[in-house]
Amino acid sequence: MSKPNVLVAMSGGVDSSVTAALLKEQGYGVIGAMMRFWPDGKRTDTFDTCCSPDAAFEARRVADQVGVPFYLLDYREEFEHNIMRPFIEEYRAGRTPNPCVNCNTKVKFDALVKKAKMLGCEYVATGHYVKRVDTEQGVEFHRGDDPRKDQTYFLWGTPKDALKHILFPVGEMEKPHVRQLAEDYGLLTAKKPESQNICFVPGTVRDYLAEHIPEVKGYMVDIHSGEVVGEHMGTQFYTIGQKKGLGLYRSNEVRWVVHTDPASQIVWVGQYADCHWENLTASGANYLLERSELPHTLEVQVRYRSAGVPATITRVDDFSFDIQFASPQFAIAPGQSVVLYSGSRLLGGGIIEGREYTLPVVKYPKAKKVKAKQEEVGSSVAKV
């Protein structure tokens, strides 16, 4: 009995190439597809190796090697609207976005799953290092077996009704084994290096932001004393917990970024302890199980390259939740994701919101003429 059709999201990389080959070997009706994000009339080298015209050419060649049809699907408008514009606007608002989460949530595992159904495919398959576990209660996503490659952090926003339509053939493998399989299949992407950057950002994020957000001079201000301790050229260039490149007046001083305020163009700095959060609020919540089934005590992850930590959910509704950490956590960045786990199982997540600060009156340098009235900054309560 033949297996159902699968739309394989091919990026031109080794993981998705092996995914297509494995599913074809297992008897699925495989259709290869790549989502076109790069725009017309602009530099195509602004898109990294996983989303470029060259990558599309390689993905098509791999599909030929595997012996499956290949389609280039136009998602330029969706990508511009859901990923690129919000990326700039979040930095402009003093937050630190995660575009990969948005891409998986709003494009790959929402729009692409719907497209797969239109093309007569029961599943979408990707090269993510995530394990799909089928239970009597339904489909669960678990951490991939290779802890260095686990990508569940980026998938917390997957629509719950899409879980049963997604496959991860390499989720139970380690990266070296995947590359060996590519060699065994004779795939031209076997030795292709991994993409490390944000796909639409050439070079550094700082350079990209400098191209899209005007530089505005502002001050570094101590969050305890109100003393101006340095200057900067835009709050968008700083994130919570940052220590290097602060441009302090006295080079022997050590400060960390605690809070940024684009409205006043002030970067508030303090001590290491000031960057620790005991709790947080998350918005835009998505749960991969019934909300009533969420455990009171669980594990949370607040950035991709950090370990999960014990925490307690102190409040939860359909759209948001509050988390209390078992111990204070360093450099929580509004705009990033807080992701919920029970053991290896991915439960959902949300977007980290800012917290309130009691700010001192700013002691502007007497030699500087400051247009903003001091009382507008004053002793106040501010929130990111």
Catalytic site positions: 103, 199
d(CA 362, CA 378): 7
- 164, two tokens: 């049963």
d(CA 269, CA 258): 5
Are 53 and 38 a contacting pair, CB within 8 Å?
yes
Give Cβ neighbours of residue 83 (< 8 Å, ≥ 6 apart): 37, 99, 102, 103, 106, 107, 200
Count of CB atoms situated within 10 Å of the CB of 23: 22
- 194, two tokens: 């991994």
d(CA 202, CA 205): 8
Query: Comparing C-alpha atoms, which of 79, 83, 8, 10 is closest to residue 50?
Result: 10
d(CA 301, CA 339): 5
Instruction: State the DSSP string of 82-118.
Output: IIIHHHHHHHHTT----HHHHHIIIIIIIIHHHHHHH
Are 310 and 326 a contacting pair, CB within 8 Å?
yes
Give Cβ neighbours of residue 252 (< 8 Å, ≥ 6 apart): none
Instruction: State the DSSP string of 234-299.
Output: -GGG--TT--SS--BSSTT---EEEEEETTTTEEEEE-GGGGEEEEEEEEEEEESS-GGG--SEEE
d(CA 316, CA 11): 37
Cα dihedral 80→82→88→94 (10° resolution)? 180
Phi/psi region, residue 95 (left: phi>0; alpha: psi -120 to 50; beta: rest), is: beta
